[in-house]
Chain A
C-alpha cells in the first residue's frame, strides 16, 4: 500500500476509455465480463483484507467461495429467499475464516497451511451442504437476487451489474468506515507491526481472527452471488480463485493506484473488472479455455515479480553502461 503509483492518470483514462469502446463494439461480451468482474470484486476486497491489511496469504478463500455458493444453492433450492440465502453465505464465510484463524493463532499452524487445512475440510463440507457436486440454479426454476430486476426487461447481464454496483457501494462504505474505527485501526496495525500492537495492549490473536473472518465473509457472499449469476454452484468453482484474487488486486493497484485507503478499495475492484475483461478478450482471440489457468498463473507471476524484474533490469543496464574497470 501507499507506494506511489508509477502509472500516470493518462494510462488510467486510456484503460477506462478502451473498455468503453470495447463495450460499444461487443456489448454482450463486455457486459458479461464487467458484471462478473464486479461480483468477483467483492471477493477481491476479501483477499485485500488478508493479503494487504493483515499481510497473510489466506488460501481459505478457494474453499470459502464454494461454501458461499453451496450454502446459497442449497437454501434457494429448498425454497428460502435468495436474499436470505446470500446473507447466510456471508455468515458461513465468517465461520470458515474463524476456523482458519483459530488454526493459525491458537494452534500456531503457519497461515498458509491453516488455509489449506480449512480448504481441504471445506471440500467435504461443501459436498455435504449441497448433497452433490453441482447444483443448477436455473432462472426459470428458482429465483435469484437478480430476479426482481427481470420484470424491467433489461438487457442480459445488466441486473448483475446493478446488483454488483449496489453491493460494492455498500461494502466499500462499510469497509472504509470500519477500518477507520478503533477496532479497524487495530487490525490494520496488526498487519503492520504486531509487536507494536501488543505493546499497546491489543490482543493480536483476536485481530487476526477478526480480519480473517471479515475477509472470508465477503468471499462467501461473493460466492453466493457468482453462483446465482452463472446459474449453478459447483464444487470445483473455487480452484484458482486465490490467483484470480491476487491478479485482480495487483492489476488494480498498479493501474489505479493506492494513494489512500479509499482509493485502494476502488482500485482493487476496478482491477477485478479489468482482469475479467482481459480474460474475455484472450478467449475471444482464441485462447483455449483449458489453457486459461496457465495464462493466468503466468500473468500473476509477472505482476508479482515486477519490482524484482525492474531492479534486475536496472542492474543489467548499469553494468552495460559502465563496463567494469580493469584491476579492482
Chain B
C-alpha cells in the first residue's frame, strides 16, 4: 500500500542550519498493516510522515501509495489518498467553523469544490450517527464552532475527518501527546476501533513505548533519520519494553536509551 524507497530529507540545504532529518529511509507497508513508530525527539518521525503526506518534497528517493508514484505530487493532490491527525489539536480542524462544516469539508476530500451547498441535510444525519459513535456528546452540537471543543474532542473529530473517506493510508503523528492521560487513552481506543473497522493501513507515531508495543501489528524505531528497528508478527507480540531498550542500545551505539527514547 505504501512504498517508501530510500528517501533523504535535508532541511536548509547549503546553509549553516543544514539538518539531515532523513538519511535514506525505506519502508514497505502491506494493505491493512498497522505500524507504530517510535524514536526520540528529533529522530525524524514527523519528517517521515510529512514527507509521505507531501508537506514538503524529498531530496532523493521515491514514495508510492497504492501503486501510484506521488513523489512529486503536491500535498493537496495526495490528500485523497491520505488521512492525517496531528499532534496539535488546533492543526486538524477549522476553529471558527461548525462541526458539521468541518466534517463536510473532509467528506469532499478528493472532489472538486463546486457551488453546491456546503452541507446538505442528508449528510447532516450521517454526521449525527457518526459522531454518536464517538460517545462524546458531539452529535447534538453539529453547528457548534470547533473552537469551543476540548482538545480531546477536537482530536476525535479530526480522526473522524481523516477517516471519513476511507483513506489508503492513515497517518497519526503523536495525536494523543497533547491530551491528558484519560482522554489520550480514549482517543487511542477510538483510533484502534476506526482502524480495525475500516481495515486501514496505518502509521502511528507515539512517544510512549508501551502504546507502541500494545498497538499495531508492527513496530519501527527511528534514530537519527534512519530506521534501526523493524519488528513484526510473533516477535512483535512478545516484545517487552526491556527488549526494545536493549535492542536500541545495541543498534544505535548509544548507551542512553532511556534519555533518548523516553524524553
Q: Show the binding face of A for B, using Cβ within 8 Å.
A: 1-2, 178, 180-186, 188-189, 192-193, 195-204
Contact B109 A201 (CB under 8 A): yes
Q: Which of A180, A186, A196 has the most CB of B within 10 A?
A: A196
**What chain B residues lie within 8 Å of A1 (beta carbons)?**
96
Question: Which one of B9-17, B113-121, B201-209, B253-261 is at the interface?
Answer: B113-121
Minimum C-beta distance from B32 to chain A (A): 22
Q: Show the binding face of B for A, using Cβ within 8 Å.
A: 53, 74-77, 79-80, 82, 84, 86, 90-97, 101-102, 104-106, 108-111, 113-119, 145, 161-162
Minimum C-beta distance from A188 to chain B (A): 6
Residue of B whose beta carbon sits closest to that of A190: B94
**What chain B residues lie within 8 Å of A183 (beta carbons)?**
113-115
**What chain B residues lie within 8 Å of A188 (beta carbons)?**
94, 96-97
Minimum C-beta distance from A202 to chain B (A): 6
Not counting A180-B118, A181-B116, A188-B96, a sample of 9 additional A-B residue pairs whose C-beta atoms are within 8 angstroms of each other reads: A2-B145, A181-B117, A183-B113, A185-B101, A185-B113, A192-B95, A196-B91, A201-B80, A203-B76
Bound CA–CA A200/B79 (angstroms): 6
Residue of A whose beta carbon sits closest to that of B143: A260
Instruction: Assess A185 versus B115: contact at CB under 8 Å? Given A196-B93, A200-B109, A200-B161.
Output: no
Q: Pick the contact of A199 from B74, B79, B104, B145 — CB < 8 Å?
A: B79
**What chain B residues lie within 8 Å of A195 (beta carbons)?**
86, 91-92
Bound CA–CA A184/B94 (angstroms): 14
Residue of B whose beta carbon sits closest to that of A203: B76
**What chain A residues lie within 8 Å of B74 (beta carbons)?**
203
**What chain B residues lie within 8 Å of A189 (beta carbons)?**
94, 97, 101-102, 105
**What chain A residues lie within 8 Å of B161 (beta carbons)?**
200
Minimum C-beta distance from B223 to chain A (A): 27
Main secondary structure on A side of the interface with B: helix
Contact A199 B96 (CB under 8 A): no
**What chain A residues lie within 8 Å of B145 (beta carbons)?**
2
Q: Pick the contact of A201 from B76, B92, B119 — CB < 8 Å?
A: B76
Q: Pick the contact of B106 from A2, A200, A203, A204 — CB < 8 Å?
A: A200
Contact B97 A181 (CB under 8 A): no
Instruction: Assess A185 versus B118: contact at CB under 8 Å? Given A192-B95, A199-B53.
Output: yes
Contact B97 A202 (CB under 8 A): no
Contact A2 B109 (CB under 8 A): no
**What chain A residues lie within 8 Å of B113 (beta carbons)?**
181-183, 185-186, 202
Contact B96 A185 (CB under 8 A): no
Instruction: Assess A192 versus B79: contact at CB under 8 Å? Given A182-B108, A186-B105, A200-B105.
Output: no
Bound CA–CA A204/B82 (angstroms): 17
Residue of A whose beta carbon sits closest to that of B112: A182
Contact A198 B93 (CB under 8 A): no
Bound CA–CA A181/B118 (angstroms): 4
Contacts A/B (CB < 8 Å), 16 sampled:
A180-B118, A181-B117, A181-B118, A182-B108, A185-B113, A189-B102, A192-B94, A193-B90, A193-B95, A195-B91, A198-B76, A199-B84, A200-B106, A200-B108, A200-B109, A201-B110
**What chain A residues lie within 8 Å of B75 (beta carbons)?**
198-199
Contact A198 B79 (CB under 8 A): yes
**What chain B residues lie within 8 Å of A203 (beta carbons)?**
74, 76
Q: Which of B90, B111, B115, B161 has the most CB of A within 10 A?
A: B115
Contact B91 A201 (CB under 8 A): no
**What chain B residues lie within 8 Å of A180 (beta carbons)?**
117-118
Contact A184 B80 (CB under 8 A): no
Bound CA–CA A242/B255 (angstroms): 61
Q: Pick the contact of A182 from B77, B80, B96, B116 — CB < 8 Å?
A: B116
Bound CA–CA A200/B158 (angstroms): 11
Contact B76 A196 (CB under 8 A): no
Bound CA–CA A199/B94 (angstroms): 12
**What chain B residues lie within 8 Å of A192 (beta carbons)?**
94-97
Minimum C-beta distance from B205 to chain A (A): 16
Contact A204 B115 (CB under 8 A): no
Q: Which of B84, B105, B109 has the most CB of A within 10 A?
A: B105
Contact B104 A185 (CB under 8 A): yes
Residue of B whose beta carbon sits closest to that of A187: B113
Minimum C-beta distance from A175 to chain B (A): 13
Bound CA–CA A15/B99 (angstroms): 35
Bound CA–CA A308/B95 (angstroms): 22
**What chain A residues lie within 8 Å of B76 (beta carbons)?**
197-198, 201-204
Contact A193 B94 (CB under 8 A): yes
**What chain B residues lie within 8 Å of A184 (beta carbons)?**
118
